[in-house]
Chain A
């Protein structure tokens, strides 16, 4: 049901009955290591290309998620996924081995919540009993496609972010045991003219602010209704900007814990990740790995995840275009809240 201007309210309470995360070595050295289902010790994962390694991450995450949900692959009626690669090849190729009807989406790093929102919508509307949402990113495929060859010696500025190597998938169902997807606010594309692809946090912050404000206005909720609100990957430059903007406009963000997945997945004081994590996998592994466990164990009752995405391409920034950004927010609650 539409609530307010841009929020879907899921009255039938879709349940996340299973989720899984698979990550690379740097995430495995980060503070959330114990929350991941599998940590690969090498970036290449014994594959012949970075792209194949990325695909493997997603295949493993979806396999584990189906298994955790207590289902078989055939039970997944729809798979919704996206990634950062051109033509979202990681998801399309992984969907080939999954064999489920597939909807490919692109929302850059906001894809995690974009796909979760749509999967919840399918369940809520009765168009599916079981749907899976998944996303993946790999540090080296992202470097190769968007920046420079991985071994090229370029100096990254402190505003740059480090793409997370990881995949996350969640299986949703109409009934079952697990956290509930309550509602989702679909974001608008925001572009305030930031052109520096090494400062995505600042480019994406206004999108997060816009979606969060819209979410509170649509639902009538306040930040204090959430035990935790996280942005996707604004990192150490973008996240304080988003917080300052929200406080300026009178949104009482100090009434909740406001954090960022890009700051949670790595220890930015010890790991060499510049401003923090980014990529589709960033909000996916933090949400599906870390946060869902907190909800399951009742350490938190209700969270809001606003995954942020920079909708640029290597071509668009080379042509001097600014960076359009988007954020999608999904509210997830522990069962029975």
Chain B
């Protein structure tokens, strides 16, 4: 490892180039198991969807709703659960373990809005909560809309999609 003899004075100044150092530092980063992270995300994301399905079935069977009309209150219920867990300070702890599993479903979207609203409450309702609520969620909306636009164009060109 060392080419110089220890203790030689004055000590040498570090002589790595930025490029050499970046490679050197990269090699010393703790490894992250992508597979393990994917499995966790798959399981947790799947469980959230399963919970959604369960809630939807409740609305269908207990409230007598049609499957289609039951989907809106189902999403609202999931959002409500996510907001409660965020406010209790639990959601971020689950997310550290679950990764994309809690970020991708609608609960993650609700968490991003709720956490920003909570965080910026100290700066007031307008400049704090109002202005910052979409700080993280805003880009999802922007790029979601842009993506939907291009998918719509694709459908128009190829004559696919559209149930209406």
Contact = CB atoms under 8 A, between A and B. Distances in A.
B14 A245 contact: yes
A159 B30 contact: yes
* Chain A contact residues, majority secondary structure: loop
Interface residues of B, number: 52
A154 interface: yes
A151 B91 contact: yes
A48 B98 CA distance: 31
A308 to B, nearest CB: 14
Interface of A: 48-51, 144, 148-159, 191-194, 199, 202, 205-206, 209-210, 213-214, 216-217, 220, 222, 236-237, 240-241, 244-245, 247-252, 272, 275
A336 to B, nearest CB: 28
A278 B11 CA distance: 28
In the A-B complex, list the 9 residue pairs whose CB atoms are closest, starting with the nearest: A153-B95, A149-B119, A49-B122, A151-B115, A193-B18, A149-B115, A202-B25, A250-B4, A152-B115
Given A155-B95, A202-B29, A210-B13, A150 B115 contact: yes
B5 A155 contact: no
Interface stretch (B49-57, B60-68, B106-114, B142-150): B106-114
Contacts of A244: 1, 28
A213 B13 contact: yes
A51 B7 contact: no
A193 B24 CA distance: 12
B11 A217 contact: yes
A151 B37 CA distance: 21
Contacts of A220: 9
B139 interface: no
B159 interface: no
A237 B29 contact: yes
User: Which residue, A48, A49, A250, A252, has most C-beta atoms of chain B within 10 A?
Assistant: A250
B164 interface: no
A206 B114 CA distance: 39
B127 to A, nearest CB: 14
Contacts of B115: 148-153
B21 interface: yes
16 contacts: A149-B119, A151-B89, A152-B115, A153-B103, A155-B95, A155-B99, A158-B32, A159-B29, A191-B18, A194-B21, A237-B30, A241-B24, A247-B1, A249-B4, A251-B11, A252-B7
Contacts of B13: 210, 213-214, 249
Given A153-B108, A192-B25, 12 more contacts: A51-B122, A149-B115, A149-B116, A149-B136, A151-B118, A153-B102, A154-B103, A202-B29, A206-B16, A216-B10, A248-B2, A250-B4
B86 interface: yes
Nearest to A220: B9
A41 to B, nearest CB: 15
A77 B114 CA distance: 46
B157 interface: no
Contacts of B12: 213, 249-250
B29 A152 contact: no
A163 B78 CA distance: 32
- Between A144, A148, A154, A216, the greatest number of chain B beta carbons within 10 A of the residue's beta carbon is seen for A154
B114 A151 contact: yes
Contacts of A50: 122
B14 A206 contact: yes
A249 B14 CA distance: 7
B19 interface: yes
Contacts of A48: 122
Nearest to A272: B96
Contact of B111 (A49, A152, A194): A152
Contacts of B87: 151
A212 to B, nearest CB: 9
B30 A249 contact: no
A205 B111 CA distance: 35
B95 A154 contact: yes
Contacts of B29: 159, 199, 202, 237
A186 to B, nearest CB: 16
